[in-house]
Structure 1
Amino acid sequence: MNLPLRPAPERRRALLGGLGALAALATGPAAFRALAESRGRRTATRAGLAFGTTVSLTLVAEREAAFEPAFRDAFAAIHAVEAAGSLYRSDSALSRLNRDGRLDAPDPLLLTMLHFALTLAERSGGAFDPTVQPLWTLWSESAAKGERPGPQARAEAVTRIGWHHVAADESAIRFTQARMGLTLNGLIQGFAADRVMAALAAHGIADAFVDTGEFAATGAHADGTPWRLGLGAHGDAPSDIIAPFAGFAATSGDDATVFSPDRRDHHIFDPATGLSPTALSRVTVTAPSGLLADGLSTAAFVMGEAAGAALVRLYEGCGARFTAKL
C-alpha cells in the first residue's frame, strides 16, 4: 500500500509579525474572524486541513465582504490540487495511477506537477526523483514493525525507482516498469501555494500570507508592517527569520517524519541508495513560485550544500539557506 508522507508538528514554521497569534481554526463557511483594523483595512484568517496537516490563509482587505469569496476560491484551489496529486486521498488521480500503473486523460494539474518533477529530476541528476514512493512504502512498513530495512530490501526497492520510466502526456501517464509508484510530496504543497495566490489575485487581494505547509506572501499587514517568516521553529524560538518576506519559501528538513531517534533515517531519500542524506538538517529555498521553491529544497537537501547551491543558482530569482546536521 502506498502511504502518504505525514509531516510532524515540528515541521510547522511560525508566522511572526504585528498580528500576534493567528485566529482559532475555522470550520464553517462564514467562520472567519477579523483580527485587526488599521488604516481602514481589515485582516482575517481562515484555517483548515489539507495534505495531512493544517493550512491557513491570512488576508487583508478594505471590505469584510471581500473575504468570503476569496477564502472560498482559495480553499477550492487547495482541494483541486489535493484531488490531482495527494497521496492522502485514495481517490486522487495520483493514487489511481499508483494502483493501476496507468492513468488516461490525466488531470491537468497532475500533469503540470509531474512535468515539473521530471524536468527537475533530469536537471538534478536524479537527486530529485518523484518515483521514490517504493522507498517510502518500505521504510514506513518496516518502521511499523519496529525494524529498519536491510541492504537487500533497500536495493530491491531502488530497482523500482527511475524517473525516466514515467511516460506522460495529455492522453495518459503510465509506468514503463513494473511495481513503480509516484509521490509528489516533494512539491505539492508549494504548488498549492501558487494556486492559492492566483485565486486571491483574481479577487484583487494584494496583501496575504499563505501557509499550505510551504509559504507565500504578498503585500503587507493591514498596518503596512512587512510579513516575516520564522524558520526551523522549536517551541517559540525560530532559528532563522526571513524579514521582510514576500514571494515563496519552502523548507525540507530531517525533522518532519523520522524513522530513527537520531533523525539519521527520515522521509527524504537518496534515490540512488535508499537511505536518507546525512549532511544537512534543513534547506530553505526562496523562489518566484512555490512549485520551484518546494522542488528545489528537496533536491538541494539530497544533493548537499555545494551541489544543491549550484542547482538553485540555475534558476533566476532563487536563493537557498542551508543548515548542516550537528
Structure 2
Amino acid sequence: MDVAVTDAAALPDAERTARSVLAAVDRACSRFRPDSELARVERSGARQPVGAVLAALVDAALRIAEVTGGLVDPTVSVAALGYDRDIAALPADLPHRPVVRPAPGWGRVEWWPARRMLRVPPGVRLDLGATAKAWAADRAADTIAARYAVGALVSVAGDVAMAGPAPDGGWRVGVGDDHERPAPGDPVVTVGGGGLATSGTARRTWRRGGAVVHHIVDPRTGWSAGPVWRTVSVAAGRCVDANAASTAAVVRGADAPDWLTGARLPARLVAVDGTVRTVAGWPS
C-alpha cells in the first residue's frame, strides 16, 4: 500500500488510518485466514449476520458481477488453479493440470442487504479479492480526506483511489506494464480524482502441470483468461469501478477496446506482444 497526502503533517495519521482499513478488510474476507468472518460464514452453510465491512464488500462484489455481466464473478476459484496460499509460498510448478469448471455463479449467493444476512451455499466459495482491494483503497482515501481535511491518494497493489482536493496540477500516477510497479520509461498520467486501476497477467503467475496460469480467472471456463492483454488500465469515478472494468476487459479479450469505448471509460491496453492501445480519452 502507498499513501500520499497534500499536507505532510497529516501523513502519520493517514498511514495509520490506511493500515486500519486494510486490516479490517483482511479480517472480514481474507481467503487465507480461517478466522476471517467470511470463512466462518462459509463453514456454517447457514444464513449468518455479518458486520458492516463484510456487508459493504459483498454489496460491492455482487453489484460488480451484475454490471459486468458476470465477467467479474466472486464465485470464481483461483484456489482450484493452485493459488490457495500467499503467492510467495506457491511451489515453482504445481503437479498435474487441474480439472476446472465454470464458476457456480454469483446468483447463487444468498444475500439480504437490508438485514445484513449472508448465506454461501455448499459447493460455493466467495473470493472477494477482485473488488475488496479496490474497495479498501476507496475507503481509505475517503476516510483520510474527510478525517484530516486533506487530499489523499491510496494505492493498494496497483489500485489507486483519490479523494479530497488534488495537489496543484493533479496527482501524477505512473502506469506500469508489470501491473504494480512502474519502471523507468513507463507512462505517467495526471489525474484529478476518482480511481485508476490496472489488471494484468504479468504478476501473480505460477505453473500448474507445466502450464503458466495467472490469477484472473474467466468465470465461463474456470481457467485463466486467454492471452490477449498483458495489462489493462482504466480510469473511473471510483477505484472499485475502475478495477471491475480493467478485470472484465482482460477476461473479455479482443473486444475489450470496443466495450470500454462504449462505456466511456478511458483505458490503456497493452497486448501480450507489447502493442499499446488507448481508448475513450486516455492520453496517447
- Pairwise TM-score range, normalised by the shorter structure: 0.7 to 0.9
Structure 2 spans left out of the alignment, 5+ residues: 85-89, 274-284
Change (3 A) 1:59 1:130: same
Report if aligned partners of 1:193, 1:211 keep a CA contact under 8 Å in 2.
yes
* 1:110-121 paired onto structure 2 within 5 Å: 110-121=54-65
Q: Give the letter for the 1:254 counterpart.
A: T
Structure 1 spans left out of the alignment, 5+ residues: 1-54
Q: Secondary structure at the match of 1:125?
A: coil
| 1:246 is the counterpart of 2:193 | yes
1:98 equivalent among 42, 57, 66: 42
Could you list the per-position Cα deviations for residues 20-70 of structure 1 after superposition, in whole angstroms to 9, with x for gaps in the alignment?
Answer: xxxxxxxxxxxxxxxxxxxxxxxxxxxxxxxxxxx12122327x3x44444
TM-score (norm 2): 0.78
User: How far does residue 166 in structure 1 lie from its aligned partner after superposition?
Assistant: 0.6
Change (3 A) 1:181 1:206: same
1:162 equivalent among 105, 109, 119: 105
Change (3 A) 1:216 1:125: closer
| 1:175 is the counterpart of 2:120 | yes
2:238 equivalent among 258, 279, 289: 289
* Aligned-partner Cα distance in 1 for 2:153–2:272: 30
- 1:140 aligns to what? 83
User: How far does residue 77 in structure 1 lie from its aligned partner after superposition?
Assistant: 2.3
* 1:33-72 paired onto structure 2 within 5 Å: 55-61=1-7, 64=9, 66-72=10-16
Change (3 A) 1:210 1:286: same
Q: Secondary structure at the match of 2:100?
A: helix
The share of aligned pairs that are identical, in percent, is: 29
Whichever of the two has the greater Rg, that structure is 1
* Aligned-partner Cα distance in 1 for 2:38–2:246: 22
Q: Secondary structure at the match of 1:203?
A: helix
User: How far does residue 103 in structure 1 lie from its aligned partner after superposition?
Assistant: 5.4
- 2:277 aligns to what? none
Could you list the per-position Cα deviations for residues 256-276 of structure 1 after superposition, in whole angstroms to 9, with x for gaps in the alignment?
Answer: 211249985211111111222
| 1:268 is the counterpart of 2:213 | no
Could you list the per-position Cα deviations for residues 236-287 of structure 1 after superposition, in whole angstroms to 9, with x for gaps in the alignment?
Answer: 3253322245321111100221124998521111111122222111111111
Change (3 A) 1:163 1:266: same
User: How far does residue 312 in structure 1 lie from its aligned partner after superposition?
Assistant: 7.1
Report if aligned partners of 1:83, 1:92 keep a CA contact under 8 Å in 2.
yes
* Aligned-partner Cα distance in 2 for 1:312–1:79: 36
